[in-house]
Structure 1
Amino acid sequence: MSEIKKRLSSILESPNHHTDDKLQKVCHLLDQEIPYFNWTGFYFKNGDKNELKLGPYVGAETDHTIIPFGKGICGQVAVSGETFVVPDVKAQDNYLSCSIETKAEIVVPIIKDGEIVGQIDIDSHSIDPFTSDDREMLEWLCEEIAKIL
């Protein structure tokens, strides 16, 4: 995992790229390097509204460009501020389906100055693929992203 972290750090530290470009590169890297990351994207708080707005992502198009706080896994993380790992989306009552192929999801909040400003959302076509290393790496990544926002 440390090799991926090094590559993610170099993307985030690049002085020549806009933040959205960096986040798009992060999505591409994770998508290419981790075979069971089948949709990787960012959502950010939409101004003063209690909703999330889709940011850079890699994967199939989604209708969920705006997600109200509390709706679905992303909306729940926007309220709780806690990482949410869903081993099997069929077992979740409050799940917003992006794709019939999605079997599992992990959402990690991005917190800056004590406020939830966004999150990374990853869907997988496999049941229960996410490891504790994945979670640790994504939580580290979100802390690093908060520093450049």
Structure 2
Amino acid sequence: MLFENLKPQVINILKKEDKSVTDRLNMICQLLKDSIDYYDWVGFYFKNGDKEELKLSTYVGEKTDHEIIPFGKGICGQVAVSNENFIVPDVQAQDNYIACSFTVKSEIVIPLFKNKENIGQIDIDSETPDPFTEKDERFLEFVNQEVAKIL
């Protein structure tokens, strides 16, 4: 039920045309982190121009050094190539994981499409082992579909 209650709030934030796109994305990050107890770091990455890399747009949570991620590297880089959702129940079990913090236990990354092109993603780290479900996937797909409308 929590996700259903958050959907109208996401839409309302994205309708705030007096705010920049980055500000609205940051407000979404803050809403998700504040509302879902196992969302400890929430951020949006976007394709960096014509480069084969992702650039961090905005985030809420612990500071990260990973502002640029090459395609294929880490979970985010893999999603940029695969165009598919990626849930990591245990980051320690992933060979191609880029550690952001030793407290992170799991991660979910959902690609963001505009005109059927993968232009970015929402990335969420959790300090809770294996918390993400199909409900998280569907909700985050909804968030990305709504975000795509303002890009």
Instruction: Give the TM-score range, shorter chain.
Output: over 0.9
Q: Deviations over 1:82-122 (max 9, x none)?
A: 11000111111110000000000000011111211110000
Question: 1:128: Cα distance to partner?
Answer: 0.4
Alignment partners' CA distance in 2, 1:2 and 1:94 = 33
Q: Which residue of 1 aligns with 2:72?
A: 70
- CA-to-aligned-CA distance 1:27-73 (integer Å, 9 cap, x gap): 00001000100000011100000000011100111110100000000
The residue aligned with 1:132 is 134
Structure 1 consecutive aligned stretches of length 4 or more whose deviation exceeds 2 Å? none
Structure 2: state its 5+ residue gaps: none
2:43 counterpart (29, 41, 44): 41
Q: Which moved more, 1:131-140 or 1:38-47?
A: 131-140
Distance 1:50 1:115 in 2: 14
Task: Determine helix, strand or coil for the equivalent of 1:30.
Answer: helix
Q: Separation in 2 of the partners of 1:93 and 1:68?
A: 16
TM superposition score normalised by structure 2: 0.97
User: 2-side partners of 1:79 and 1:12: how far apart?
Assistant: 27
Residue identity over aligned pairs, in percent, reads 56
Q: Hey, what does 1:100 align to over in structure 2?
A: 102
The TM-score with structure 1 as length reference comes to 0.98
Two-structure CA RMSD over aligned residues (Å): 0.7
Residue type of the alignment partner of 2:18:
N
Query: 1:30 matched to which residue of 2?
Result: 32
Structure 2 counterpart of 1:83:
85
Gaps of 5+ in 1: none
**1:2 maps to what in 2?**
4
1:117 aligned partner? 119
Give the Cα–Cα distance (whole angstroms) in 1 for the partners of residues 88 and 126 of structure 2.
Answer: 10
Query: In structure 2, what residue type is equivalent to 1:39?
Result: W
- The secondary structure found in structure 1 opposite 2:66 is coil
Matched, 1:147 2:114: no
